[in-house]
Amino acid sequence: MKVINLDHISAKPLLPEVKTVMIEAIEKDYHNPASQHKSGEEAAAVLQNARKAVAQLLNCKTPKEIVFTSGGTESVNHAIKGVALANEDRGKHIVTSNIEHNAVIRSLRRLKSAGFVVTSLPVDSSGRVKPRDVADAITKDTILVSIMHSNNETGTIQPIEEIGAITREKKVIFHTDAVDSVGVLPMDVQKLGVDLLSFAANTFYGPAGVGGLYIRRGTRIFPLLDGGVQENNKRAGAENLVGIIGMGKAAELALRDMDKRLAHLRTLKNRLLTELPKTIDEYIVNTHPEHSLPNLLSISVQYIEGESVMLMLDDENIAVSTRSACATGSLRASHVLLSLGLSHADAQGTLVLSFGIDNTENDIDTFLKALKAVVTTLRDISPLYQKASKA
Amino acid sequence: MYNKTVMDHFRNPRNVGVIEDADGVGEVGNPLCGDMMTIYLKIKDEHIEEIKFQTFGCGSAIAVSSMITEIARGKSLAEAKQLTNKDVAAALEGLPKNKLHCSNLGADALQLAIQDYEDKLAGVKRPQPIRKEKHEHSHGQKCYCPYCDIEIQADITFCDACQSSLEDEH
């Protein structure tokens, strides 16, 4: 049974080429890259190739600036906690935004209980942080600014370059959680002006459970995991070589095919945006029209609830995601959507549609047809729709 | 996430709709929680002759609404007054823990509809219940951890039982 995956933000398929190199790596059964004998050196060379491929994707000055991790969450934890611990003698103030991923929010919450002070900045109704607010929030005690590159619920991209110029001028360390951007969009750490950047391999069709942290040379940061001297003394523990080899291949392909992929994703998104108003009425687009990921669109369908839509589309073999509170275990609507100024009822009707290079325009058409039927069914049941129609 | 009975009532909800000349109407819920239900009753000889519902909410909210209408239909008012949200969850063979409080409001809506019917008969005019903005008022005065379902104080930000952080989440 073929399922149409419009939930790529949760999981992307492994590329066949990536799968092949990972299987080869398992069969090869590499030794520990930290060992000094021939077998170890052979493994170290493979590790270095992967590091070069990833460093190229981000335009790092040297591959040494890449630290491999177990994924986006570890990278974010490392960046935030590592900088806080290494710089607390200079100050205990951190600046962030109201729309960050839980990895950032909860890392900062942990630091708050250890005496750090956090300023969390609002976003405007389009979902973007104002660089001016960042400049105003920085004090002489500020040691870190952490603002995400693109938001995982709305796809909206933040003005990282402008913020980077501010943090450089004020000599504050700048981290960006770029987990949903790296490998999708052209990324250049020099241009962005960031000191730390978190990413994950699955975003660019590599394996889940592998990622990395870009650490600009000279950045004061402690390891999150203490132990051996792996990863240039920045991340202890034997490397997940099979996963890293997969990520290296995925990075190489992402860089090679970037333009082709972008063109395809933009075609899909345009089709969705053009056809949606002909399919359903009374919905809100939460994604920025210009500054947003090419592969994500968040909409809030009014008078109905997202989980119900998701379950009914699932019956039609179409996978979508909802950030409505009900689906996540938290009973509250998403903090990101409320930050945009959405009402609770509208936020509950949110669908996150995220597509990939494996989707076709036909998938979009099938989805739209199914969505129309589902929205009609659920609005027929909804007392809110009844009231709105009467009014 | 949901069992077969819940999914059946979600996919094929029974007794959906509005009774235009209803004898009693009961409305519960709050968009803060994500669920709102309205139940309409037609009463004949102290029995529920007809019952319909409308619901804005997640899968379990729709299943709960459908199930309460099935259970209550044909019952005497005395019998119907005994029905609780727990009965509905049991008839559905269980609901996920984090859904028990926000979505399981079917019996509450039914009780309000019966009260509305009896008020009309007695000529009592009750003031419209005031929509409270704060979440902790929406299920009576009790508050529960959304992660482990244990009863907690409304103003705490951390659940001791399951170690979850609760900033604005309960």
> pTM here?
0.88
* A194: nearest Cα among A235, A231, A162, A222: A162
Closest among A215, A214, A213, A205 to A247, alpha carbons compared: A205
B98 and A329: CB-CB below 8 Å?
yes
Q: Write the CB contacts of A137 (distance below 8 Å, at least 6 apart in sequence).
A: A95, A119, A121
Return the CATH number of A4-10+258-390, one of 3.40.50.720, 3.90.1150.10, 3.40.718.10, 3.40.50.300.
3.90.1150.10
A67: tokens are 């630290």
Count, residues in chain B: 170
Size of interface A-B (CB pairs under 8 A): 88
Task: With a cut of 60, say whether residue B138 has pLDDT above it.
Answer: no
Residue of A nearest to B102 (CA): A331
What is the CATH code for A16-254?
Answer: 3.40.640.10
The end-to-end CA distance of chain A, in Å, is 44
CA of B14: which chain A residue's CA is closest?
A381
| DSSP assignment letter at B76 | B
Instruction: For residue A374, give how far its alpha carbon lies from the nearest alpha carbon of chain B (Å).
Output: 11
Q: Comparing C-alpha atoms, which of B51, B45, B140 is closest to residue B102?
A: B140
Q: How far is A109 from chain B (nearest CA, A)?
A: 9
A311-320 burial code (b ≥16 CB/10 A, e <16): bbbeeeebbb
CATH of the domain spanning B4-131, picked from 3.90.79.10, 3.40.50.300, 3.90.1010.10, 3.40.980.10: 3.90.1010.10
Q: Is the CB of B31 less than 8 angstroms away from the CB of A348?
A: yes
Query: Per the structure block, which two tokens stand in for A88?
Result: 């607390």
pLDDT in tens, chain A (391 residues): 799 999 999 999 999 999 999 999 999 999 999 999 999 999 999 999 999 999 999 999 999 999 999 999 999 999 999 999 999 999 999 999 999 999 999 999 999 999 999 999 999 988 999 999 999 999 999 999 999 999 999 999 999 999 999 999 999 999 999 999 999 999 999 999 999 999 999 999 999 999 999 999 999 999 999 999 899 999 999 999 999 999 999 999 999 999 999 999 999 999 999 999 999 999 999 999 999 999 999 999 999 999 999 999 999 999 999 875 554 555 567 888 888 888 888 888 999 999 999 999 999 999 999 999 999 999 999 999 988 888 7
Share of chain B above pLDDT 90, in %: 59
Q: Over the stretch B70-86, which tens digit does the pLDDT of each residue have?
A: 999 999 999 999 999 99
Please answer whether residues A83 and A196 qualify as being in contact, where contact means their C-beta atoms are separated by less than 8 angstroms. yes
β-pair type (B47-56, B35-44): antiparallel
Residue in chain B closest to A377 (alpha carbons) equals: B11
**pLDDT attached to residue B137:** 35
Measure CA A87 to chain center. 26
Tell me the nearest-neighbour CA distance from B120 into chain A, angstroms: 22
Q: What is the ipTM of this complex?
A: 0.85
**Contact B103/A307, CB-based, under 8 Å?**
no
Can you read off the two tokens belonging to residue A121?
A: 């900045």
Contact B57 A305 (CB under 8 A): yes
Q: Would you list the domain boundaries of chain A?
A: 4-10+258-390, 16-254
Closest CA to A153 of A288, A272, A45: A288
Q: What is residue B40's three-state secondary structure?
A: strand
A chain contacts of residue B38, beta-carbon cutoff 8 Å: 383
Catalytic, A60? Answer: no
What is the identity of the amino acid at A175?
A: H
Q: What residue segments make up the domains of chain B, in order of their start?
A: 4-131, 134-170
Does A324 sit within 8 Å of B58, measured CB to CB? yes
